[in-house]
Amino acid sequence: MKKTAQEPDGRRRRSQDSRARIVAALLALIRDGEVAPSAEQVAERADVGLRTVFRHFKDMDSLYREMATAIDAELRKVMLRPFKAEPWRDRILEMVERRSPAFEQIAPFRRAADVHRHGSSFLSEHHARLVSEARGILRRELPPEVAADPVKFELLDLLLSYEAWRRLRHDQGLSPRKTREVLESALRRAIED
């Protein structure tokens, strides 16, 4: 029986569909609160065999790269958008306004990445790159004399970080609205002088 030109395309489409379902399953499990889903859990949620998971991803770390890509996509939407505010102090406050919903959305994925970061050079490098890019944006938006003040710069960077957001939201139990209010108030005090 002669193969038609459509057969390889059909296999490719099924393969792409399986891969997409596997990634979607990982993201759904993490979004549902499972910070370290197993390959078996992913396979079950994706409705594929365990061998299919490892046919598409050589190990769980390579699957977590897909999760990092999802984090990147959400944060880049926020980080690359032009600022509306003109005065630099208003732009700093606008950063909280922008980052708050993004931090809230990526929180489950960041928790999962943090669990696996110690054993993954990719996730460690990804985290370092995100931190560096966020610091670069802050430095770019500050007047040179403020950016050159190491204490003020580090304080502002801390207040604008995901870690500050996570601490207030999850460790201290504040609502998203209250977390944003606390961060905005702290930033106003830090940039007033």
Give Cβ neighbours of residue 104 (< 8 Å, ≥ 6 apart): 165, 169, 176
Q: Does the pTM of the predicted model rise above 0.95?
A: no
Same domain, 159 and 184: yes
Per-residue pLDDT, 41: 95
- Determine the pLDDT at residue 156: 98
Residue 88 and residue 44 in one domain: no
Tens of pLDDT, residue by residue over 88-117, are 999 999 999 999 999 998 899 889 888 888
pLDDT at 166 over 60: yes
The percent of residues above 70 in pLDDT, for the chain, comes to 95
Residue 173: which region, alpha, beta or left (left: phi > 0; alpha: psi -120 to 50)? left
DSSP code, position 87: S
How far apart are the C-alpha atoms of 157 and 152, rounded to whole Å?
A: 8
Whether the CB-CB separation of 67 and 113 falls below 8 Å is answered with yes
For every residue of 141-167, DSSP letters joined together read HS-HHHHT-HHHHHHHHHHTSHHHHHI
Is the separation of the CB atoms in 81 and 57 below 8 Å? no
Q: Are residues 88 and 155 in the same domain?
A: yes
Domain with 35 in it: 1-57
Chosen domain end from 25, 57, 89:
57
Of residues 74 and 55, more confidently modeled: 55
By percentage, how much of the chain surpasses pLDDT 90? 60
Task: Note whether 72 and 145 are same-domain residues.
Answer: yes
List the CATH number of the domain containing 2.
1.10.10
Q: Is residue 62 in some structural domain?
A: no
Helix and strand element counts for the chain (H, E): 10, 0
Distance from C-alpha of 86 to C-alpha of 65, rounded to nearest angstrom: 37
If asked whether residues 37 and 89 sit together in one domain, one would say no
Output the CA–CA distances (angstroms, integers) from residue 11 to 7, 15, 16, 85, 120, in the order listed: 6, 6, 9, 51, 32
Least confident residue range of 15-19, 74-78, 80-84, 168-172:
74-78
Among 42, 96, 100, 44, smallest CA distance to 67 is for 42
For the chain, the domain total comes to 2
Distances (CA, A) of 8 to 3, 15, 48, 185: 9, 10, 20, 59
User: Residue type at 128?
Assistant: A
The mean pLDDT of 5-25, rounded to a whole number, is 81
- Residue-wise pLDDT tens digits, 113-145: 888 888 888 889 989 998 999 999 999 999 999
pLDDT reported for residue 193: 67
Residues 74 and 121 in one domain: yes
Q: What is the pLDDT of residue 116?
A: 86
